[in-house]
Amino acid sequence: GDSVTQMEGPVTLSEEAFLTINCTYTATGYPSLFWYVQYPGEGLQLLLKATKADDKGSNKGFEATYRKETTSFHLEKGSVQVSDSAVYFCALSLSGGSYIPTFGRGTSLIVHP
Amino acid sequence: DGGITQSPKYLFRKEGQNVTLSCEQNLNHDAMYWYRQDPGQGLRLIYYSQIVNDFQKGDIAEGYSVSREKKESFPLTVTSAQKNPTAFYLCASSTGLRNEQYFGPGTRLTVT
């Protein structure tokens, strides 16, 4: 079946460090790919998305490129801030069939001053 | 402003009582979902609905029930049959396939 695998956390960084959170997927078709962010005690918010191969999603300094050849959608940011501390979820959604997206388990990011 | 509302933010109940969590959206989305999140865990799908008056069980539906009488509303009832109901519950909606989900702020349920 379809699945999303994220690197285990927590990822602990100092402020202004470079961030990479790995995400790989398995899907039977050509999915749309998403990164969501969850701040403590809140719901998830869409961070960025990409709907086809080689698309780059970007928002708030975060970027991810849809790599069909490696089935990956790694999240990157050049310089993290303390306010980026949150849990990040990678997800995929397929056309056809049901409306159920598939989520990764989430990766906690802790940024120290 | 369009969005999803969940109420209440915090809910406390005694063991053996049923409790209903509210979820309302004014985004005109067809699909709605309920997820459960436990500390340090990902999202687990409880129920989802693609259209009014129709819903399907997710991965962990036992001990829960839902209704979808209106497009805007998708309440979740946590019954006394749910063995470990204490958790953070998230409601979400989406429109169309391949599109992102919009999440509510969540309800934290504590059962003692």
pLDDT tens column, B4-29: 999 999 999 999 999 999 999 999 99
The pLDDT of residue B39 is 84
Contact A89 B43 (CB under 8 A): yes
Residue range B72-112, pLDDT digits in tens: 999 999 999 899 999 999 999 998 656 889 999 999 999 99
Average pLDDT, chain A: 94
Average pLDDT, chain B: 93
Q: In this prediction, what percent of chain A has a pLDDT beyond 70?
A: 96
Interface test mutation site (partner A, options B51, B99, B102, max chain A beta carbons within 10 A): B99
Residue A42 with chain B: CB contacts under 8 Å:
105-106
- Whether A28 has a pLDDT exceeding 90, the answer reads no
The pLDDT of residue A64 is 98
| Average pLDDT for B45-50 | 94
Higher pLDDT residue, A96 or B16?
B16
Asked if B32 and B68 count as a contact pair (C-beta separation under 8 A), the reply is yes
Which tokens in the block code for residue B28?
């005109």
Q: Quick one: which H or E segment has residue A59? A: strand A56-59
Interface test mutation site (partner A, options B30, B36, B97, max chain A beta carbons within 10 A): B97
- Cα dihedral sign for A21, A26, A32, A38? negative
Cα A73 from chain centroid (whole Å): 7
Strand-pair category, B31-37 with B43-51: antiparallel
pLDDT band (50, 70, 90) for residue A112:
very high
Which tokens in the block code for residue A81?
């801030």
Which tokens in the block code for residue B88?
């953070």
Which residue does chain A place closest to B10, by CA atoms?
A41
- Cα dihedral sign for B7, A88, B49, B66? negative
The pLDDT of residue A98 is 64
What is the DSSP secondary structure assignment for residue A82, as one 8-state letter?
A: G
The residue behind tokens 């998230």 is: B90
